[in-house]
Structure 1
Amino acid sequence: MDITAPRFTDETTAREHLEALRWPEGPYCPHCGSFAATRLPAQRGRPTKAHPEGAIRAGVIQCNDCRQQYSVTVGTVFERSKIALHKWVLATFLLCSSKRGMSSHQLARMLGVTQKTAWFMSHRIREAMRPTEGEGPLGGEGKAVEADETFIGGKEKNRHKSKRAVKRMGGSWGKETVFTLVERDGKVRSTHVQSVTAANLRPILVSQVDKATMLYTDDAGQYRHMNRDFRHEVVNHGKDEYVRGKAHTNTVEGFFSILKRGITGTYYHLSAEHLHRYCVEFDFRYNTRKGTDFERCMTALKGITGRRLTYRRSAQVVA
């Protein structure tokens, strides 16, 4: 919990910390999967413009079978990074422990890096927070899932006349739409959608919610025929009905309050092409809310394996 702990300030300790997390049974080769390995002594790499004499290469391991060399960062989101490893570990802890997130400007000040570097580091860490493929659907027999949508963006009246947008079908004036599913006492899943029409939302519901689930929504038109796929109850917000027995959407509204406080109070502005990454971040913190900050950080660090995010791919527009 102490940001002055050795793993946050010392390169070697941070490497050992990651090795213990990624290789609890000892190092294995990411190239061939062999556990036969030899640790090499620290050695100088090739001369570069930044390091004319060659930077010290520490933590290098050689596979005894395929003879390839690797380190704990190979095959992770930290691979080929010039940033010190202890700064990566500290950045992960700060992003995991800040309930409403941490801006790249603040992260840059705390790590001693540029804002551009901190921004890219944040997106790599969010990639590690992304849930693994193949997770089962939410809900199930005897369980309840709430579904609702919210709109992300500033007030239209505050925009310049030339920047004001035309209202989209099923959306809001110039805003981006986030559709969220929350299992009561369970996990949350958020999706950036183009609009909240039934044609857009039904495939998400069918693929991510178990058919035996009790689904709770408000009285919006896009949910009108969801009883074809689920047991479905509606609360009529149009008539000031917010709770009727077990029927309510207060859980998902509570998640939206955290999401919007983070965006409004911490990030201020984020582009539509990266909104899905911020949704991953807030989903991750909500889904690990029952653990400590340290446990949440360890979960994120375990998720770095098998994922890469280059700057070119992070900066491109996601359709």
Structure 2
Amino acid sequence: MQAKTPNAADLLSGHPNAVYGVAWSQNGRLIGSASLDNTVKLWDATSGKQLARLPGHGDGVSAVAFSPDGKTVFSSSLDRSIKIWNIASRSLVTTVAAHSNFVWSLACSSDGKSVVSGGYDNTLNVWTPDGSRKQSVGVGGQPILAVAMAHPRAGGWFVAGSKNSNAYVIDPDATKPRLTLAGHNGAIEGTAVSGDGKTIYTAGQDKTIRSWDSRTGKVNRVIDGHASYVQSLAISDNGRLLASGALSGRIRLWDTTTGRLLRVLSGHTNTVYSLAFSPDAQRLVSGSFDRTLKVWQTSTGQRVTRNPSRLLQARVISSAERARPTSKIVQNSRPRAIELGTE
């Protein structure tokens, strides 16, 4: 059941510090990453090519989110701000003074009309996409470590996971939670909402994942399996797969219908802080404190890499060409494409 990951070059590589946030654009073309190196990076989701490096935050970047039209990316930071970036021009649109302490979590609604952020100032703030604040909700008197939003056709509400071991369900334009989800023993580090809005998933320091009825707040299922804190959660757009990342560096894939463990993904050497599925649910991207981003095939659990055999072939050809006469080196000096594969 556990997928083996031999040593090979990761598809995405380039952050010199921990990766705290990842996101996959709704058109499937881009992956965004947020790092303690104070930058956001944008990647071609197919080739792994780095398309943009977005500096500007004054401290580590904690989370990243795409607008549904793929034109904008939002980032939150320990510098207490949210930045809004234009993807086409790779430029900063505006900086929002978002919270009075670290901004730790961020999500954008699937209709692009709302952005929600959670901070260490114990508040959850809701914004319009241009950075104008719509409302502020104080929940639980503790830092908000994770946020997720229901689809607008399911009500457009959001769920916030708190350091105080509770999660809170807040309706649009509300000033206080509609439901308090109590049951975890320890901080809630991950939240997710099913596409139909019927189920909420939470995970945290008690090493469990819980599914809840979003209408009643009752627990549907408690999922055990991790041997260490669960730090991140993601659900596929089709609602069939749930991914959880742990302090140990391991990722688990679950069947949401049965709660059955499908496979374990091993490859990270430290905490997995963030996860995101591709829109077709065929791939999963993970970001870790080990400074790496990894992309996985969900059907096999194999890690998507730059094919090591092709890299070797490219080196051999390059060496052979250096041994040829100069005129032939010039004639054959066009760059060679390096193919991508899975392991």
TM bracket, shorter-chain basis: under 0.3
Kindly indicate which of the two structures has a greater share of residues assigned to strand. Answer: 2
TM-score using structure 2 length: 0.22
TM-score using structure 1 length: 0.23
Kindly indicate which of the two structures has a greater share of residues assigned to helix. Answer: 1
Name which structure has the greater RCO, CA cutoff 8 Å, separation 6+. 1
